[in-house]
A and B are shown apart, each in its own frame.
Chain A
Amino acid sequence: MSGIIIIGAGQAAGQAAASLRQEGYEGTITLIGDESFAPYQRPPLSKQYLSGELSIDRVYIRPAKFYEDRNIDLQSGVRVTSIDRQNKTISTDNGQTLAYQKLLICTGSRPRELNIPGSDLPGIHYLRRLDDVDRIRDDMASANSICIIGGGYIGLEVAAVAVTAGLSVNILEMESRILQRVTNEQMSAFYHRLHTDRGVNIHTSTACTGFKGDARVNSVLCQDQTIAADMVIVGIGILPNIELAQQAGLECDNGILVDDHCRTSDPDIFSAGDCTNHPNPILGRRLRLESVPNAMEQARTSAANMLGGDKTYAAVPWFWSDQYELKLQMVGFSSDGDTAVLRGDPEALQFATFYLKDGKVVAVDAVNSPKEFMVAKRLYGMQVNADSLADSAIDLKSLIS
């Protein structure tokens, strides 16, 4: 009997399956993922799972038994090879052809690859999946030095774990500052100094040109120097997995195009998570997000709408990153602002930068400042007095009218 098929078994897929049952759907749910694990949380991979603080059991979103108990057919280690929209079936690499009434594509994203001389040497890693991190951990146990290509969140989180574990750490960043794509100069400078103070060597405006080694990588080449490295992590961004959708003739443009109900250009096919390019009615533009909250909420939206509901996805994007003992929580996009307002004291490792556009709050980067993070969520799009925002003596509550 045909029911709902979910392609992928990541966070969006797992949440969608749970939401479908929560909404009372009793039909068939088939969850097909090419990884060999039940849905798990990705954020801890570059943080507490890498450091060994969290065991694998704690990384799973729900115990494996959950899927059995709820009659969700979880097929791990299986790849969907094509979608036949005419006959409403999908095919898999283990020879199945399965019919669907509704299809949800949660194919996620994959790391952008470096294709330069030596980039296929053993010891060079990407970080996306649980088993990537198992391999990284194995390597880290015997490595003395690590070189990280890319000064984004993944690179910086790995740097924090690695330097804390006693490795010598180099980061190569092509741009003139780390986190260039996601935050303003002051925040970049703050994180640059934080990592430098902890012993990380950061090389900005430095492009990696190749790798050297015999059996495995032993050094990284960049413009004018060679950096010794027992292992390498490449964290230079991700690409949405749209190929399956594209081959099926679904509209794609920097992601699988969906509407605010998470519906693709085929009314029986929905998509959720990193792979989507979706409209955000609050921001007034289309977005492709690399974000767990986005994956979870789109999954809930898809589940409701696949069952005939009318749920609109409209949320202000938010993100977080853990480095050392610092928790960075972000709302919106700092690049949307025309003015930055600092509240708190960066020296004390506790502060927030609010970003305003025409006097309205459009983003915050909050370091060890959960209250500022929460207030930014509530103040989003609202006019505020910048001087009051900057004055730590003024209670944030008084700013929420």
Chain B
Amino acid sequence: MAGVKFIEHNGTEHNVDGIIGESLMNIALANLVPGIDADCGGECSCATCHVLVDDAWAGKLPEITESESSMLDLNPDREVNSRLSCQIPFSEELDGITIQLPEFQY
């Protein structure tokens, strides 16, 4: 399995194993990927696990919920490909996904 590639804002890459069903946030935490604070533990309550998903994968992600969208909405740095990593469970379909970490969250 190709797993998940997290790329820090300074270009440092972290290639880590994916775990089916585990959120990208938890995968980042378990692998000490910097830039994901995840203060609320994945409740979609804090917006500190903001990531940018590589365009090629956009179509394979679960739909964004209203609550997730609201949490992202007031961030002036929100991009079209912004997501909260706690809301994306890793799946076989996402094997090899590339995730960028935004500079503002560093």
Report A's interface with B, CB cutoff 8 A: 18, 21-22, 41, 43-44, 61-63, 66, 70, 292-293, 296-297, 300, 318, 320, 322, 327, 329, 369-371, 374-375, 378, 396-397, 400
Task: Give A41 to B67 CA distance when docked, in angstroms.
Answer: 22
Task: Give A365 to B68 CA distance when docked, in angstroms.
Answer: 18
Task: Give A44 to B40 CA distance when docked, in angstroms.
Answer: 10
Within 8 A of A (CB), among B25-76: 29-30, 32, 34, 37, 39-41, 43-47, 67, 70-71, 73-75
Report B's interface with A, CB cutoff 8 A: 29-30, 32, 34, 37, 39-41, 43-47, 67, 70-71, 73-75
Smallest Cβ distance from B49 to chain A, in angstroms?
12
Smallest Cβ distance from A261 to chain B, in angstroms?
19
Query: In the complex, which residues of chain A have a beta carbon less than 8 angstroms from the beta carbon of B71?
Result: 370-371, 374
* New A-B contacts (15) at CB < 8 Å, excluding given A18-B32, A21-B32, A375-B74: A62-B29, A62-B30, A70-B32, A292-B39, A292-B40, A293-B46, A296-B39, A320-B40, A320-B43, A370-B44, A371-B71, A371-B74, A374-B47, A374-B74, A374-B75
> Do A396 and B43 have beta carbons less than 8 Å apart?
no
Query: In the complex, which residues of chain A have a beta carbon less than 8 angstroms from the beta carbon of B70?
Result: 369-371, 374
> Do A400 and B74 have beta carbons less than 8 Å apart?
yes
Known contacts being A370-B67, A374-B47, is A292 close to B29, with CB within 8 Å? Answer: no
> Do A44 and B67 have beta carbons less than 8 Å apart?
no
Smallest Cβ distance from B6 to chain A, in angstroms?
13
Residue of B nearest to A70 (CB): B32
Task: Give A22 to B43 CA distance when docked, in angstroms.
Answer: 23
Task: Give A63 to B31 CA distance when docked, in angstroms.
Answer: 10
Task: Give A25 to B70 CA distance when docked, in angstroms.
Answer: 37
Q: Secondary structure of the B side of the interface? A: loop
Pick the contact of B74: A61, A70, A327, A396 (CB < 8 A): A396
Pick the contact of B39: A293, A369, A378, A397 (CB < 8 A): A293
Task: Give A45 to B75 CA distance when docked, in angstroms.
Answer: 30
Task: Give A18 to B26 CA distance when docked, in angstroms.
Answer: 13
> Do A22 and B32 have beta carbons less than 8 Å apart?
yes
21 interchain pairs, CB-CB under 8 A: A18-B29, A22-B32, A22-B34, A43-B40, A61-B29, A62-B30, A63-B30, A292-B40, A296-B37, A296-B39, A300-B37, A320-B45, A322-B43, A369-B70, A370-B45, A370-B67, A370-B70, A371-B70, A374-B47, A374-B71, A374-B75
> Do B41 and A43 have beta carbons less than 8 Å apart?
yes
> Do B74 and A378 have beta carbons less than 8 Å apart?
yes
Task: Give A397 to B43 CA distance when docked, in angstroms.
Answer: 24
Query: In the complex, which residues of chain A have a beta carbon less than 8 angstroms from the beta carbon of B43?
Result: 43, 320, 322
Task: Give A329 to B71 CA distance when docked, in angstroms.
Answer: 11
Task: Give A82 to B89 CA distance when docked, in angstroms.
Answer: 44
Task: Give A70 to B70 CA distance when docked, in angstroms.
Answer: 36
Smallest Cβ distance from A228 to chain B, in angstroms?
35
Smallest Cβ distance from A398 to chain B, in angstroms?
11
Query: In the complex, which residues of chain A have a beta carbon less than 8 angstroms from the beta carbon of B40?
Result: 43, 292-293, 320
Task: Give A22 to B34 CA distance when docked, in angstroms.
Answer: 7
